[in-house]
Amino acid sequence: MDRVSLLWRLRRRARRGVVCMAFFCISMALLYAICAENSVPVTDAIFGVRARTRAQPRTHSVIKVLRGGAKPAYVDPQKLPGVVPGDPHRPIPVLSSANHTHEESATKRKSREREPSGGFFTQMLPRPFMRAMETLFGRRRRGELSGKGDADFFGPQGLLGEVWNDETSSSMLGNRLKKVVQNYQAMNKYGVEVSGPGGSSSRPKLSGPELLCQMKNKVEVATLTADLAPFSSLPLAAQLPLKQLTSDLGPYRSCAVVSSAGSLRSSGLGKEIDSHDAVLRFNAAPTVGYENDVGSKTTIRLINSQVMASDDHRFLSSSLYSSGALVAWDPAPFSADLTQWFNRTDYPIFTQYQRYRRLHPTQPFYILHPRFEWQVWQRIQDNMAEPIQRNPPSSGLLGTVLMMSLCEVVHVYEFLPSRRKTELCHYYQRFYDAACTLGAYHPLLYEKNLVKRMNRGPDRDIFTHGRVTLPGFSRLNCTRAPGG
């Protein structure tokens, strides 16, 4: 009798345990569905940090919007929310919740109401619960922008369409990213002086050829040389190149600019990328293990100063940086005052440059003149209908313009997202955030608008391959272009 009583009690406790565990799981799922879109700290506390910025912001308002959990980690900064001056050894996490909050039009709401449902039971359940169940059990793929659950972003009925819409604006962002962009627009660390026709809806919209000629005529791709002050009077002069990058490299016939976007995964573009005469890659993007999707050839690698300063990337010792020519850049004052910049760089680019040159004296290594960064920024602002972030452009756009000065034709891969669009930030890491596609610190959203307008290839190439086709500056005839 005692044995039967003991078994009965154990079974009752087991049933209670199962019920309590099920209730706990359902509660956590509901909490995730309700909080994930709008509460970064809550999401971090439950599920951990997904995306991180490149360094610690110094502006309180930006910290308040961006700060997530407190777990320190470093993520390669290419196309992440941004480069904010700070200590490269102590980055803070930001933007950890994926951005799926968007205002829906009446037409879209009606179309959603007409969509076939999953049955009477699903209609009775609250929508947050169903969204949580879809996320947890696979119907809604985590990080997927083009999936069924995230059609607000892309797709035939999405805000951004199947192919990037060159009229995309910050008003189309969700509340989280919209607030981030507004805060960065309000910052002016680099002393940017806005001029020209940009930032107004009444600005003239130039055609693609006019934009290309404007870029050719008003942007000078320049690098630091030994004869420039203040470097000419410093020991650094002995390590700087004697000639400009455009004099030493090229010309190339066909070039590939390979972004680090997560949508390159499973693309199968490796052979096509390697077929180009020259290939440009960014920061710490690897090729080993990803050859089928990104190729193996590296002619030029464009790196930012934080990659050079971070111990995690082993810039001075890793073989990743030893192939091809290196081109480095660091944010500088809008005035491009070299003396002021030399005395206050965002990261110790010149110290690391000298160390690397002593270890690899024969490898071509250039530093972009900061005037180039801000000339590109001005072209973006002049051709947008609203103010953009007063921060330098992303490495992606800088590298694209750089290759346009060296090549007859440039193919840019996954800068404009293809049908494989995803919130996965990099093809070689597992961090998810819509800011990697839409931008935060960098004016990435507006950069994509500009590239889309300059694209000379068909939209089909963008959709299937994420490939943009741009003519090199040497192939442009700008004698009749009013935009020039």
CATH number of 200's domain: 3.90.1480.20
Domain that holds residue 372: 181-475
* CB contact at 8 A, 69 and 39: no
Any domain includes 447: yes
Residues 437/431, Cβ–Cβ less than 8 Å: no
Question: 206-238: buried (b, 16+ CB within 10 Å) or exposed (e) per residue?
Answer: bebbbbbbbbbeebebbbbbeeeeebeeeebbe
Q: Are 306 and 55 in contact (CB under 8 A)?
A: yes
Q: How large a percentage of the chain has pLDDT more than 70?
A: 69
Most confident of 53-57, 69-73, 147-151, 166-170: 166-170
- Tell me the pTM: 0.72
Residue 142 maps to a domain: no
482 is a domain residue: no
DSSP string, 2-53: HHHHHHHHHHHHHHHHHHHHHHHHHHHHHHHHHHTTT-HHHHHHHH----B-
| Rounded Cα–Cα distance for residues 268 and 291 (Å) | 9
Alpha carbon separation from 103 to 106, 107, 108 (Å, rounded) = 10, 12, 10
80 within some domain? no
Domain assignment present for 110 = no
155: in domain? no
φ, ψ of residue 159 to 5 degrees: the values are -60, -35
Nearest to 468 by CA among 382, 396, 365: 396
Q: CA triplet 134, 139, 144: central angle to 5 degrees? A: 95
User: Confidence band (pLDDT; 50, 70, 90) for 162?
Assistant: confident
- 100 in Cβ contact with 37 (< 8 Å): yes
Residue 13 token pair: 């406790």
- Assess if residue 400 is contained within a domain: yes
pLDDT tens-digit profile of 67-124?
Answer: 333 333 334 333 333 333 333 333 322 332 222 222 233 333 334 334 344 444 444 5
Summarised one tens digit per residue, pLDDT across range 254-300 is 999 999 999 999 999 999 999 999 999 999 999 999 999 999 999 99
pLDDT confidence band for 53 (50 / 70 / 90): very low
| CA 239 distance to own-chain centroid | 32
What's the structural domain count of the chain? 1
25-39, 48-62, 202-216, 336-350: segment of lowest average pLDDT: 48-62
Residue 366 lies in a domain: yes
